[in-house]
Amino acid sequence: MRKGSLRSLTRLARSARRLSRRERRLACEALGWLILSRTSLAFVPYRILSSSAAQLRPRHPADVTAEEGAAALRRAGLVLPVACLSRALAAQWLLARYGLAVDVQFGVREGQDGRLVAHAWTLSGGVPLTGAAEAAACTPLNPTAAP
């Protein structure tokens, strides 16, 4: 089955119905942040966008756990697959709205063709949010980062 086919969309809709109202709301919010991050990174440097997360005021402090945020981002990623940097930025923005700090880590690994491949992943309170599986193969660019 092809990605993006009608059958895939139908399956996705059925699985969304099994979620609680809260989980659906959070997944929709995560999808919004993914769309915004993917679009913004085409025009604005990451450094500027990342610093904007610190300026977001918490909307519902402590209403969402890091694990719930990670699950919402995974669900949203099924609808809109994006690069790791877009996922990391979306995680920062999403969880900043709930008063949770997100630590973005960067690393590199050697690709199959011998070139360096960059990767970004996120942690919140030691909980991996995005990109943790790929991070295990990376050498962190900041010495305190542990995949």
pLDDT at 39: 96
Question: Where do the H-state alpha helices sit in 18-106?
Answer: 21-40, 46-52, 66-79, 84-96
Contact status, residue 91 vs residue 130, Cβ threshold 8 Å: yes
Residues 6+ apart with CB under 8 A from 29: 72, 94, 97
Q: Taking the model in full, what pTM does it have?
A: 0.83
**Spans of the chain, pLDDT less than 70:** 1-17, 60-62, 143-147
pLDDT at 1: 41
pLDDT at 52: 86
Closest to 133 (Cα-Cα) out of 61, 77, 55: 77
pLDDT tens digit string along 25-50? Answer: 899 999 999 999 999 999 999 989 98
pLDDT at 4: 52
pLDDT at 89: 95
pLDDT at 3: 53
